[in-house]
Structure 1
Amino acid sequence: MPPYDSDSSDDGGDDYSTTNVILGYAVSDPSGDEISHVGGYPSWLDPNHPPPAALAKCKVCHGYMSLLLQLNADLQQHFPHDERRLHVFCCRKKNCSKKIGSIRAFREVRKPEARDKREKKNLIETKPGTPVPDLGTALFGGTGSSSAIDGTNPFSLSNSGAQPTANPFSSIGSPSTLAAKPPQRPVDEPVPLTETFADKLKIGSDRDVNPNNVEVTEHWPEPASVPPPFTSFYLDAYPEELDKEPVELTKAEASKTQYDVDDSGGAGVSQKDDFESELDKTFQKFSDRIAQNPDQVLRYEFKGEPLLYSGTDGVASRFVVPHGKSGAIRGIPRCERCGAQRVFELQLVPGLIYELEKDEAMDLEDGMEWGTVILGTCANNCGEPGTVTFQEEWVGVQWEERVARK
């Protein structure tokens, strides 16, 4: 695990540094992205082929969940021909809080049809008596046939070659033009893309595939059948900027990883003290980092590393080895569909809870109780060519105790 701010890179400024993390912000005004939003209702790459209803249900109570995030997650640098969306849902029932399966996420992907199938389809669909186009054009396409969108995703690394891990927002100084797509309610026909959240991230957007061999017996529920949605907000994206602080750590301290605990080892230091020390240090680092951009609701860095809320729970154990102990980092579970390694892609942070619940009438004891929601996705972006595939992905939730919020 690299040191706490090892992902930061000096952009030459005097007062701040920019990291490879892209931050998402909830905004009320349209930001140019018709797809990415928090709250509201989900929309699909093919409105005629929604996911199976099983993906909409809480694994604890089996009731329908509410949308937390829909993200246009096209990754032009990694998957130039694929359309991708990420959907994160949560159960709002108090009894399901802090239980595995009450927050779920899935990846929606449309891959182009295999070339041999596409060529065969074009030949079969040629009607008798109609002019046959030039064979080269029929098989390989001609001018005007391209449907590719030069989408750039604000939550992904650019391949422009500006820097080793070039940030698409390397020109920092003026407000980012990376836009987050506005929320979109279910519609009967696809809405043409304008500037997508993917455009801002530099992340690049038919038939259903049954995720995890779940028997499909229901179609995705109609809006009237699900709980009232959270208030919907558009998303905007900017690169993470951190204040530069003087280096005050000693060489020994600097050698420790982000989530190490103090190993000074005194006779009066108990295991409980060590545990609490690690917990406090991890949470403090999380709080300090978030505080530099307090309005953020999500953090995006494909193949990056999450900012942990706790250093002692089961989720943390997948990303770090406690100081003084040996062993390999467990990592995120592999993709059940193709067996490929999963990688960190994004995490939701407490600012999202505030935005979604600030206008709702509820007691302080109600509402969401997580510190961060971490999403790991298939590194291969697996899916069936020529169709829309829905695949449930790994979600790691670090929970919090409810505290009074202003």
Structure 2
Amino acid sequence: MSSSQEEYSSDEESIYDSNESHKSKVLLGFADGPITEDDQPILEDTFIGGQPIWLHPESKPKEDYLICDRCGKKLALLLQAFSPLDGALYDRVLYIFGCKNGQCAKQKGSVKAIRGINKSDEVAKRIKEELDGIKVKEMEDKLKSEQSKKLNDELTKNLFNKDTSGNNPFGGSNPFAKNDNPFSSGSSNPFANAKEAKTTNASTKTPQSYAEVAKTAPKSPKRESQKLQGDLPQYNGSFVYVDSEKFRNDKDEDAQLAKYKHLIEENDAPEEGASSKRRGSSSSAVLDPQTTKISNMLDDKYFENFSSTVKHNPGQVLRYDLNGKPLLYNGKDDVAKAFLTSSGQPNIPRPGYNPSSERRFELQLMPKAIMDLEGLDRENVDIKDILNGMSWGTIIVCTDVEDYIREEDLDENKVGYVQEWCGVQWEESA
């Protein structure tokens, strides 16, 4: 299967910068195999499109969380991300929903983010057992390392001792050949991914979970009852796999934008018989609105940074950086102003359900997701799907730093959902 993951194959590692200063703590999500009738996601998967999986089959969010505030129609799932916090004894999922009505673009309440948690005793017990298992595994690995080092020291010491007996220090039985080694690779790993990677290169490297905090995420058995069948309108579904952000060794940071330079030069050139430049003139906007749009975007250093960053990993549909900073699509709209403050601290509304707390950046959905959700990379795409499609540059989600949900908002299954802050940076109109 051809996908953006090919850029991470072991044969191409050399194209990425190995300099420590260029390493990123950001985790990127890439569209993997499609969701099909025979290959359905489970709660612990991260995916785009399709139908949401709730934390309990009988526990769903409030209806108004899933309704467009403008047209009143049901929203479609854009992203479901299984994102447990390190050490938390409950399951945690983030959802992003959007309206499929093209007329609702740029309207408040047409895109929503929901955080859901499951604090049931069964979930807490399962996670605790698995966290205890992680500690045992770490102790075993440490003991194995210490034993190997001690034995290596003994062997090395013998190399430099004069052996008058004529014995070969490397002869005899292999101390590592025992089949009763409790640390052998044959031991089962209770934290292995529940779903095998669907790409060919995934088999050549250790699969990575959705987020850094979830790389040892507990897995529960697949239950068909978890899926919500046909309840909401939907986009094409794709599984998402996660890898660390890498930067290519490109010498020209503006390589991705080079193809637009001639448009900018033409836009800056004086019109024949006129002293004014074309940029900003109403006639040029009418004659070539796309050129004006590109020119305006390139004037924005934040868009330039967005483009130059994304070009290293153009297939990314998701960026995850808990407590980090979003990659702004532009520096001009209200969303940008919320993050570009004089104090350096984002001006994000406090959660109404926990007014004494604050919100932090957690993840953002990237424009490549639009192609995967709407199937624009497929053959025979209807032009109407493109014209009436999504028009955002990025969707930014900030969540409560305390990850709080009031007890009264938890149902009988100990499941609760709250609406989190969601900032959408839309494509500029020509």
TM-score normalised by length of structure 1:
0.60
Q: Which residues of 2 match residues 268-347 of structure 1 at below 5 A?
A: 279-321=299-341, 329-339=345-355, 340-347=357-364
CA RMSD of aligned residues (A): 4.1
Q: Which residues of 2 match residues 110-121 of structure 1 at below 5 A?
A: 110-111=118-119
Name the SS of the counterpart of 2:327 in structure 1.
coil
1:38–1:69 contact (8 Å) kept in structure 2: yes
Asked whether 1:85 is paired with 2:101, we answer no
1:151–1:199 contact (8 Å) kept in structure 2: no
- Shift of the alpha carbon at 1:204? 4.4
Matched residue, 2:26? 21
- Shift of the alpha carbon at 1:331? 1.8
Q: Which residues of 2 match residues 14-53 of structure 1 at below 5 A?
A: 14=19, 17-28=22-33, 34-53=44-63
What letter corresponds to residue 50 of structure 2 in structure 1? G
* Compared CA separation, residues 243 and 59, structure 1 to 2 (3 A): same
Tell me, in whole angstroms, the C-alpha distance in 2 between the residues paired with 1:304 and 1:59.
29
TM-score normalised by length of structure 2:
0.57
Tell me, in whole angstroms, the C-alpha distance in 2 between the residues paired with 1:201 and 1:240.
16
Matched residue, 1:106? 114
Asked whether 1:97 is paired with 2:105, we answer yes
Name the SS of the counterpart of 1:60 in structure 2.
coil
User: Which of 330, 349, 373 does residue 366 from structure 2 map onto?
Assistant: 349
User: Which of 386, 405, 422 does residue 383 from structure 1 map onto?
Assistant: 405
2:97–2:111 contact (8 Å) kept in structure 1: yes
* Compared CA separation, residues 356 and 246, structure 1 to 2 (3 A): closer
User: Which of 230, 234, 237 does residue 239 from structure 2 map onto?
Assistant: 234
What letter corresponds to residue 338 of structure 1 in structure 2? N
Asked whether 1:64 is paired with 2:74, we answer yes
Larger radius of gyration: 2
- Shift of the alpha carbon at 1:391? 0.4
Tell me, in whole angstroms, the C-alpha distance in 2 between the residues paired with 1:344 and 1:307.
11
Name whichever structure is richer in helix by fraction. Answer: 2
Matched residue, 1:374? 396
- Shift of the alpha carbon at 1:52? 2.0
Tell me, in whole angstroms, the C-alpha distance in 1 between the residues paired with 2:308 and 2:40.
28
1:104-149 Cα deviation digits (max 9, x unpaired) = 0100012356xxxx9xxxxxxxxxxxxxxxxxxxxxx9xx995445
1:289-320 Cα deviation digits (max 9, x unpaired) = 00110000010000100000010110001111
What letter corresponds to residue 313 of structure 1 in structure 2? D
Name the SS of the counterpart of 1:354 in structure 2.
helix
Query: Percent of aligned pairs with the same residue?
Result: 32
Name the SS of the counterpart of 2:370 in structure 1.
helix
Name the SS of the counterpart of 2:22 in structure 1.
strand
Instruction: Give unpaired runs (5+ residues) of structure 2.
Output: 1-15, 135-190, 197-206, 219-226, 254-279, 281-294
Tell me, in whole angstroms, the C-alpha distance in 1 between the residues paired with 2:297 and 2:53.
44
Instruction: Give unpaired runs (5+ residues) of structure 1.
Output: 1-10, 119-140, 153-176, 183-193, 206-220, 249-271
Name the SS of the counterpart of 1:283 in structure 2.
helix
Asked whether 1:361 is paired with 2:382, we answer yes
| Matched pairs, number | 286
* Compared CA separation, residues 276 and 87, structure 1 to 2 (3 A): same
- Shift of the alpha carbon at 1:374? 0.3
Runs (4 or more) in structure 1 with deviation over 6 Å come to: 29-33, 177-182, 245-248
